[in-house]
Structure 1
Amino acid sequence: MSNPQPSPTPSSAPTRGLAGQIARLRGVYEEYPRQFWVLVFGSFIDRLGGALLFPFFSLYITQKFDVGMTQVGVIFLVFSITGLFSSLLGGALTDRIGRKGIIIFALVMSALSALGMGLVNDFTTFLVVAGVVGLLSDVGGPAHSAMVADLLPEHKRAQGFGILRVVFNLAVVIGPLLGGILASRSYLLLFIIDTITSLLTAGFVWVAIRETRVAPAPGEPQESLGQTFKGYFTVLRDSAFTWFMLASMLSVLMYMQMNTSLAVFLRDVHGTNEQMFGYILALNAAMVVLFQFPITRRITPFRPLMVMVAGTLLYAVGFSLYGFVASFPLFLAAMVVITIGEMLVSPVSQAIVTNLAPEDMRGRYMATYGFSWVLPSAVGPLLAGLILDNLDPHLLWFAAGFLGLASAAMYYALQQKVGGSRWALVDMRLQVFQQLEEGRLTVEEAAARLAEVQEAKYARMREQETPPAPEQLRVRVSSTDSGHTHTELLLPLGLVNIFLNTDCRLSLDVEQHVDAQRLRHLIAEGLSNGGSASLETEAKARVEIFRESVSGEDETA
């Protein structure tokens, strides 16, 4: 008869559970480069200050200056028009001079602008300050998104943007609750705290974050400033991207009502005070914090555009509910539906844009995609204000639901017809990266498949008379004794992040093997220097890595 096994002590199961949670968190942390987590932390600090202020911005304007929602719409119109020029400038400078400096400049300008708005005492001056805010503070948006794309491989970008949304909304969980308390005492405190957090973040970025833009190789021709801005015409000729942006405009026009008109509607129609509205926004943020990352992981196998369709339909249902319901629990229920849609749409949309954009044009693609927010921001609050001030306020939410249905239909049509083969190429690249990470492909097999996908992409670009500028990473291994080249491998730059972020081994030939950690260090050194780098391996071989653009002859061969 066997001896009975001792039962676990009451504390052992929780201990193992805690250890398992810590191990899972450590595993998630190790999936992404350290620089990405540094960027995430800095973004959290800045977001915390903005989360105190922005949800109560419309309430502040209507209360302090004794104006209606139409005047609030004018303020957002000024923000949007000036922000349009700011974003275009930021996108071009991001591609030309880099990401880090643009982010710091935008944070400092945002800090000064927030303080200025808090000290203004008349509406006309506030309108002028709003123009300055939009002109200067939005310049960093394209740089921030481009830096995330620089740091993460294609198949990790949706998850990376999802992580950013988690920390953003963690700030939003804290922000509205604390902001509601502070706003009941003094709105000026909100502006002061927003200023402080922006300055702290600027200092943190200066000290802790390195530049991620790949410097041009020595002797490589650089664009003039005029050519950089002309690159926007290349972006607009990308039909798949343009249609995606138009569909996004309708979705954003609906979504932004949550942060501009919903608070005033609930206050004026249903008597909901600032603190109760803070609870509604806190529910939204708490759901994102708890469920965004697991949801983003689970939707990875699905086609990105179909995820956009599902999320936008949930938007339509959730916003329409506000036109029907009249109790606080149902207000919360409507926000639950909206938040589920948000957790599908937001990270996937950003990943789609960065995956469509060539590496050297990421800033300009992200800036152009900003039109999908800028234009709705210009007209959305104004149109909503006209409805709230002059018509039945419930009509606003029925109109929002219609916009959601129209946006979902456009995403579906885009998947089925417009640029369908373009989306197929993106899906193929994502599948290659996923299979490589899971060990189902060797590095050489992945490189070969990516080369096929890239060639198909360049063929499409040639058909559209868009000159491709494919860049690759050349890995050359030669004997240290004779200098004879044993093998040479060309890798698309998109594959580089696999080496930087995974533990795969690169087998260069039957005799020479390079340790993954040393290879990642070498690649990082070569890219950051904008030139070549080399190391001596234990197998008496020299590995040289350098970046190069494929010549025009190679492209057309």
Structure 2
Amino acid sequence: MFDSFAGLREFDRAVFVVAAARFVNVLGSGIVYPFATLYFYGEVGIPFTLVGTGLFANSVATAGGTLVGGYLADRYGRKPVMVASMALSAPTLAAYALVTSAPTFVAVAAAAGLAAGLFAPASQAMVADLTPDADREQAYGLLKVASNAGFGSGFVVGGLLYGVAHTAVFVADGLTSGVVAVLLAVALPRVSGATEGEADSEAVESSLAATLREWSRAVTQPTILALAVLNVGFAVAYAQMRSTVPVFAEQAFGLTSEQLGTLYVLNPLVIVVFQMPVVSWVRSWRRTRGLALSAVFWAASFVTIVLAHGAPVLVGVGLVGAFLVLRTVGEILHAPLITALASDVGTVEERGSQLSVLEIAKRLGFGIGPVVGGAFFDYGVEALLWPALVGMSLLLGVGVLSLERRVSPAANGRGEAAD
């Protein structure tokens, strides 16, 4: 197990700075997650479908920020974009504490999403710039470990804060983003994108057109487009952990916020313990094979929720715990493999823009997931949601395997691609 961490000593210092920033930032996200849906649905009284609409607005805005962030990271460098994203996120995230109605919720969610969206393509591109192709899965795996160590800590802290003062979780989330902005500004060296240079007046005037052209080139690459479509489906599955599963667990088994927060620690705990060993284990695999296995674990996780319906409390809570473990194994495989695959499919010069396409797709799925799941709950047919998600997950596995012949051996990892 420890051998899987041995290669980390060779990573550039900036990779560890990004990982530390992810830890602090996701600590704030964990404080809010999964209590935001419970608060706006149960306390503020916003209908579940409208809560889903607000989360969809957040995802759409995040996608827009990601588009701009990918371009700016390629044009002006990774560090300025990352610092700006976190500095803007601090007040917008804290503003959730002021929400009292559905329109306000949607507006704040959109503003927070736009600010946050700038960060992901810049940080992912920086890590890709600083690590060799063969080590990229480990680098992205390190970011997952840092994120989920923060997540787990945030769940516990959030459960305690939510039990004392519901809106305190949103203020704490905003504060962590401010801390990250300072950390990045002070500790992160400037790492140039491949095409970075000084902006002149002509570049400024044509920036929007250039953004659209570069993003269009990335989208029209068939493999990038296919990966983006698949990532929408994976993100729909991801979104259920934040939106529908907490509501199901509270309604079916009467879990309190503290109990739910403690149970949700299983997600980051499994990632912290197993992320690097699993990535090391699959390094010799085709990346598409690892992604197909990820889809199988997602399907199995939703089967546990099907079985939890009508189960006794102890059995039901155990099945919710099993859901968290199984979906986390799927996440362990999915996140670093699909990002590494997309990094190697495209060109170095447009890597930020290309990764933004993948991130936009994920955010779209994050937005669709709560809307669809909320509709199942609002119309009283939530029991049908989970079998539908099982089927969708299996289709994702088939889709990944069908993509395999279109991916070059170099981009698909160390396994030899099929002829």
Q: Same fold (TM over 0.5)?
A: yes
SS class of match (1:90): helix
Q: Given the superposition, is the C-alpha separation of residues 273 and 427 from structure 1 closer, same or farther in structure 2, using an over 3 Å criterion?
A: same
Hey, which of these two has a bigger chunk of strand by percent?
1
CA–CA separation in structure 1 for the residues paired with 2:47 and 2:211: 42
Shift of 1:239: 0.6
For residues 51-90 of structure 1, give each alpha carbon's deviation from its aligned partner in whole angstroms, at most 9, with x where no partner exists.
Answer: 1112211011113311231121111121122222211111
Partner of 1:366: 355
Q: Given the superposition, is the C-alpha separation of residues 398 and 26 from structure 1 closer, same or farther in structure 2, using an over 3 Å criterion?
A: closer
The correspondence of residues 229-248 of structure 1 with structure 2, limited to 5 A, is 229-248=212-231
SS class of match (1:312): helix
CA–CA separation in structure 2 for the residues paired with 1:91 and 1:313: 31
CA–CA separation in structure 1 for the residues paired with 2:319 and 2:6: 38
CA–CA separation in structure 2 for the residues paired with 1:345 and 1:137: 21
- Identify which of 245, 250, 273 aligns with 2:256: 273
Say yes or no: does 1:115 pair with 2:94. Answer: yes
Say yes or no: does 1:414 pair with 2:414. Answer: no
Shift of 1:425: 3.7
Partner of 2:22: 43
- Identify which of 245, 248, 251 aligns with 1:262: 245
Q: Does the Cα contact within 8 Å between 1:321 and 1:397 map onto a contact in 2?
A: no
Which letter maps to 1:123? A
Q: Does the Cα contact within 8 Å between 1:46 and 1:197 map onto a contact in 2?
A: yes
Partner of 2:297: 314
SS class of match (1:256): helix
- Identify which of 366, 369, 377 aligns with 1:380: 369
Q: Does the Cα contact within 8 Å between 2:41 and 2:47 map onto a contact in 1?
A: yes
- Identify which of 348, 354, 364 aligns with 2:337: 348
Shift of 1:235: 0.9
Partner of 1:553: none
Partner of 2:155: 176
CA–CA separation in structure 1 for the residues paired with 2:8 and 2:196: 32
Q: Does the Cα contact within 8 Å between 1:322 and 1:394 map onto a contact in 2?
A: no
Q: Given the superposition, is the C-alpha separation of residues 27 and 81 from structure 1 closer, same or farther in structure 2, using an over 3 Å criterion?
A: closer
Say yes or no: does 1:402 pair with 2:415. Answer: no
Q: Given the superposition, is the C-alpha separation of residues 228 and 119 from structure 1 closer, same or farther in structure 2, using an over 3 Å criterion?
A: closer
Say yes or no: does 1:85 pair with 2:67. Answer: no
Shift of 1:139: 1.5
Say yes or no: does 1:205 pair with 2:184. Answer: yes
CA–CA separation in structure 1 for the residues paired with 2:301 and 2:415: 33
Hey, which of these two has a bigger chunk of helix by percent?
2
- Identify which of 391, 409, 414 aligns with 1:424: 409
Q: Does the Cα contact within 8 Å between 1:177 and 1:279 map onto a contact in 2?
A: yes
Structure 2 unaligned residues grouped into runs of 5+: none
Partner of 1:161: 140
CA–CA separation in structure 1 for the residues paired with 2:27 and 2:165: 18
- Identify which of 284, 288, 298 aligns with 1:305: 288
SS class of match (1:322): helix
CA–CA separation in structure 2 for the residues paired with 1:218 and 1:394: 55
Q: Does the Cα contact within 8 Å between 1:256 and 1:377 map onto a contact in 2?
A: yes
Shift of 1:25: 9.3
Which letter maps to 2:262? Y
Q: Given the superposition, is the C-alpha separation of residues 129 and 336 from structure 1 closer, same or farther in structure 2, using an over 3 Å criterion?
A: closer
Partner of 2:84: 105
Q: Does the Cα contact within 8 Å between 1:265 and 1:388 map onto a contact in 2?
A: no
For residues 399-435 of structure 1, give each alpha carbon's deviation from its aligned partner in whole angstroms, at most 9, with x where no partner exists.
Answer: 111110111110011114xx2xx4224247x589xxx
Q: Given the superposition, is the C-alpha separation of residues 69 and 359 from structure 1 closer, same or farther in structure 2, using an over 3 Å criterion?
A: same
For residues 456-492 of structure 1, give each alpha carbon's deviation from its aligned partner in whole angstroms, at most 9, with x where no partner exists.
Answer: xxxxxxxxxxxxxxxxxxxxxxxxxxxxxxxxxxxxx
- Comparing 292-301 and 63-72, the one that deviates more: 63-72
CA–CA separation in structure 2 for the residues paired with 1:120 and 1:255: 25
Among the aligned pairs, what percent are the same residue? 25
CA–CA separation in structure 2 for the residues paired with 1:340 and 1:111: 31
TM-score by length of 2: 0.91
Q: Given the superposition, is the C-alpha separation of residues 44 and 281 from structure 1 closer, same or farther in structure 2, using an over 3 Å criterion?
A: same
Shift of 1:137: 2.5
Partner of 1:190: 169
Shift of 1:145: 0.9
Partner of 1:251: 234
Partner of 2:275: 292
Partner of 1:528: none
Q: Given the superposition, is the C-alpha separation of residues 37 and 431 from structure 1 closer, same or farther in structure 2, using an over 3 Å criterion?
A: farther
The correspondence of residues 124-143 of structure 1 with structure 2, limited to 5 A, is 124-143=103-122
Structure 1 unaligned residues grouped into runs of 5+: 1-19, 433-557
CA–CA separation in structure 2 for the residues paired with 1:248 and 1:342: 12
The correspondence of residues 446-465 of structure 1 with structure 2, limited to 5 A, is none
Aligned CA-pair RMSD: 2.4
Which letter maps to 1:195? G
Q: Does the Cα contact within 8 Å between 1:254 and 1:401 map onto a contact in 2?
A: no
Shift of 1:217: 9.0
- Comparing 229-238 and 128-137, the one that deviates more: 128-137
Q: Given the superposition, is the C-alpha separation of residues 248 and 268 from structure 1 closer, same or farther in structure 2, using an over 3 Å criterion?
A: same
SS class of match (2:408): helix
Q: Does the Cα contact within 8 Å between 2:70 and 2:352 map onto a contact in 1?
A: yes
Q: Does the Cα contact within 8 Å between 2:89 and 2:177 map onto a contact in 1?
A: yes
For residues 220-259 of structure 1, give each alpha carbon's deviation from its aligned partner in whole angstroms, at most 9, with x where no partner exists.
Answer: x997522343011211221112112212211221221111
Q: Does the Cα contact within 8 Å between 1:143 and 1:363 map onto a contact in 2?
A: yes
Which letter maps to 1:59? L
CA–CA separation in structure 1 for the residues paired with 2:39 and 2:392: 28
Shift of 1:38: 1.6
Q: Given the superposition, is the C-alpha separation of residues 65 and 237 from structure 1 closer, same or farther in structure 2, using an over 3 Å criterion?
A: same
CA–CA separation in structure 2 for the residues paired with 1:350 and 1:218: 26
CA–CA separation in structure 1 for the residues paired with 2:219 and 2:4: 41
TM-score by length of 1: 0.69
Matched length: 406
For residues 190-225 of structure 1, give each alpha carbon's deviation from its aligned partner in whole angstroms, at most 9, with x where no partner exists.
Answer: 122212211111111111111222465999x99752
CA–CA separation in structure 1 for the residues paired with 2:389 and 2:17: 37
